Amino acid sequence: MSTYVLVPGFWLGAWAWEEVTGPLRAAGHDVHPLTLTGLGDRSHLAGPGVDLETHIDDIVQAIVYADLREVILVAHSGAGAPVTGAADRIPERISRVVYLDSGPMADGLTQLDLYDPAQREFVEHSVAAHGGTAYPPPSWEEHERSGVSLEGMGAAERARFAARATAQPYGTLTRPLKLGGGADRLPKTLISCSYPLEQVRALVEAGHPYFAALAGPEWSFAAVPTGHWPMFSAPAATAAALAELGEPGGPRG
């Protein structure tokens, strides 16, 4: 049995993992999906004071107060920053960090720093129109225009997403990540979904700025070929890929 802590990306809560947690628990694993402050069933806690540090603390406290150890800590999409921060704070409790169609953020960067000028302008305009403290979920058309893969997100999946998605606290995009090197040597796995694994490996080998950090010996790679939200579009395959990481001997990819 392995222990998993699952952190969803922007606009989502623990509910997004429902079709992934079932298979993992049926296989005997201990699974803890999280809802971060200001989102999902904790959306009533949203406010201008909620930022990246808040979400890092959410993850750290969830792990520490449940006394979880040897945790496989999973970040989907925009959860890459808070998961990286949490692993840096409590590396002694983490056995592996997993980035599900996500990636680690470097020390000193913000989520907004990762966006090109057009994307950044869109986010800032959306936040301003929403009151200045939260980033509402873009439309599906806007996602497509920005290059986000919607493969596998049919009408039912989109309706489920839209019915429960909540605005993302803006401070999680604007506060820089501060790291101390605590998680540098932890085993890490990238599970690529919306990019072919061959393309990811080529970008790593080429030293692409967003992928160069994945060249270290602590990294392994796997793939769940689908769109950007694999917990909706390919939940069984996502659960299977995560379960493989908890098997004796670790990842084979």
Per-residue tokens: 36: 């971060």
pLDDT, one tens digit for every residue, the chain (253 residues): 999 999 999 999 999 999 999 999 999 999 999 999 999 999 999 999 999 999 999 999 999 999 999 999 999 999 999 999 999 999 999 999 999 999 999 999 999 999 999 999 999 999 999 999 999 999 999 999 999 999 999 999 999 999 999 999 999 999 999 999 999 999 999 999 999 999 888 988 888 777 888 989 999 999 999 999 999 999 999 999 999 999 876 665 4
Count of other CB atoms within 10 angstroms of residue 101 = 25
Q: What are phi and psi of 224, to 5 degrees?
A: -125, 90
**Residue 77, CA atoms < 13 Å, CB-side half-sphere:** 18
Beta-strand relationship, 188-192 and 134-135: unpaired
Residue with tokens 């995560």: 242
pTM for this predicted structure? 0.95
Q: What is the pLDDT of residue 205?
A: 87
Contact 116, 209 (CB under 8 A): no
Q: What is the pLDDT of residue 49?
A: 96
CA distance 62 to 80: 17
Q: What is the pLDDT of residue 249?
A: 65
Q: What is the pLDDT of residue 251?
A: 65
Count of other CB atoms within 10 angstroms of residue 185 = 11
Per-residue tokens: 133: 């403290």
